[in-house]
Structure 1
Amino acid sequence: MLSDPSRTLVIAPNLKRRLSGVTTSIIQLIPVQNRLGQKIAVFGPGLPDHLPKLRFRDLPRLWRAPEGRPFRIWHARRNVEMLMGVVMRDILRMPLRLVFTSASQRVHSRWTRFLISRMDGVIATSHKTASYLKVPHRVSLHGINAERFSPPADRSEVRRALSLPPGQKLAGCFGRIRHQKGTDVFVDAMIRLLPSRPGWSAIVAGRTTASHTSYLAELKARVTEAKLEDRILFVGEHSDINEWYRALDLFVAPQRWEGFGLTPLEAQASSVPVVASDVGAFQEIIAQGTAETGLVVAKDDLEALAGAIAAFTDDDARRDAAANRARPHVLANFTIEGEAERLSESYEEVWQRFQA
Structure 2
Amino acid sequence: MRSDEPGAFPKRIAALVPPEAIPGTVSGPVRQLTALARGLQRAGTDCLVVVFHRRGQPPSAFAPYLQEAGVRHCIVEDRGPVDWRLASHVGTVLRRWRPSIVQTHGYKATAVAYLLRRLGAPWRWIGFFHGFTTEPLKARFYHWVDRRLLGAAERVVVMSHAQARAFRHCDGRVRVIYNAALALPPGGSPSERDRLAGLAGSLPRPIVGVVGRLSQEKGVDLFLDACAVLVQKGLAFSALVAGDGPGRARLEAHCARLGLEARVRFLGHVYDVDVLYRMLDLLVLPSRSEGLPNTLLEAMQADVPIVATAVGAVPEVVGTSAAARLVTPGSAAALVEAIEHALTEGDLPEVAAARHEAMGRFSLERRVEAHVQLYHDLLEEAGGVRPACVGSPAR
Alpha-carbon offset, residue 287 of structure 1: 3.8
Q: Distance in 2 between matches of 1:31 and 1:65?
A: 18
> Aligned residue for 1:244?
276
1:310-349 matches, cutoff 5 A: 310-316=340-346, 318=348, 320-330=349-359, 332-349=360-377
Q: Is the alpha carbon distance of 1:28 and 1:191 closer, same or farther for their aligned partners in structure 2, counting shifts above 3 Å? A: farther
1:74, CA displacement in angstroms? 0.6
Aligned to 2:390: none
- Distance in 2 (CA, whole Å) between partners of 1:84 and 1:178 is 26
Distance of 2:156 and 2:207 partners within structure 1: 41
2:50 corresponds to 1:43: yes
Provide the aligned length of Structure 1 versus Structure 2.
Answer: 331
The Cα of 1:62 is off from its aligned counterpart by 4.6
Change (3 A) 1:112 1:148: closer
Deviation at residue 80 of structure 1 after TM alignment: 3.6
- Aligned-pair CA distance for 1:353: 2.0
Q: C-alpha distance in 2, partners of 1:166/1:160? A: 10
Task: Report what 1:116 is aligned to.
Answer: 150
Q: Judge which range, 296-305 or 200-209, deviates more.
A: 200-209
CA distance in 1, matches of 2:200, 2:283: 19
Aligned CA distance change for structure 1 residues 178 and 351 (closer, same or farther; 3 Å): closer
1:26 positional shift: 3.2
1:9 aligns with 2:9: no
- Which residue of 2 is the match for residue 276 of structure 1? 308
Q: Please show how residues 174-185 of structure 1 align to structure 2 within 5 Å.
A: 174-185=211-222
Q: Is the 8 A contact 1:274 1:286 kept in 2?
A: no
In 1: Cα distance, 2:131 partner to 2:366 partner: 21
Is contact 1:287-1:294 (8 Å) kept?
Answer: no
* C-alpha separation in 2, matches of 1:160 and 1:339: 34
Shift of 1:202: 2.0
1:52 aligns with 2:63: no
In structure 2, do the counterparts of structure 1 residues 37 and 94 end up closer, same or farther at CA, with 3 Å as the change threshold? Answer: same
Query: What are the residue-to-residue correspondences of 1:1-356 with 2, within 5 Å?
Result: 9-16=12-19, 18-19=21-22, 22-46=29-53, 47-49=62-64, 50=67, 51-54=71-74, 59-60=91-92, 62-63=94-95, 72-91=100-119, 93-104=120-131, 115-133=149-167, 134=169, 135-136=171-172, 137-146=174-183, 148=185, 160=197, 162-165=199-202, 168-194=205-231, 196=233, 199-209=236-246, 212-224=248-260, 229=262, 231-288=263-320, 291-316=321-346, 318=348, 320-330=349-359, 332-354=360-382
1:44 match: secondary structure: strand
- 8 Å contact kept, 1:207–1:237: yes
CA distance, structure 2, for counterparts of residue 167 and residue 315 of structure 1: 18
User: Post-superposition shift, 1:113?
Assistant: 6.2
Instruction: Give 5+ residue unaligned stretches, structure 2.
Output: 5-9, 54-61, 77-88, 135-139, 187-194, 385-395
Task: For residues 216-260 of structure 1, give each alpha carbon's deviation from its aligned partner in whole angstroms, at most 9, with x where no partner exists.
Answer: 133134234xxx60x433333210122211222211011223343
Residues 285-328 of structure 1 deviation map (CA, whole Å, 9 limit, x = unaligned): 2244xx3011221222111111111121121363x431343133
Partners of 1:58 and 1:124 lie apart in 2 by: 24
Q: CA offset at residue 96 of structure 1?
A: 0.7
Work out the CA distance in 2 between the residues paired with 1:117 and 1:178.
Answer: 27
Contact 1:260 1:281 in 2 (8 A): yes
In the superposition, the TM-score normalised over structure 2's length comes to: 0.71
For each residue in 1:42-73, what CA deviation from the matched residue of structure 2 results, as whole angstroms up to 9, or x when unmatched? 1132431414124667854755895xxxx610
The answer (yes or no) to whether the contact 1:146–1:335 under 8 Å persists in 2 is: no
Higher relative contact order (CA 8 A, sep 6+): 2
Alignment-mate amino acid for residue 343 of structure 1: H
- Paired with 1:178 and 1:215, the residues of 2 have a C-alpha distance of 9
Q: The residue matched to 1:219 in structure 2 has which SS?
A: helix
Structure 1: any 5+ residue segments left out of the alignment? 150-157
CA distance in 2, matches of 1:54, 1:202: 40
Q: Give the root-mean-square deviation of aligned CA atoms.
A: 3.6
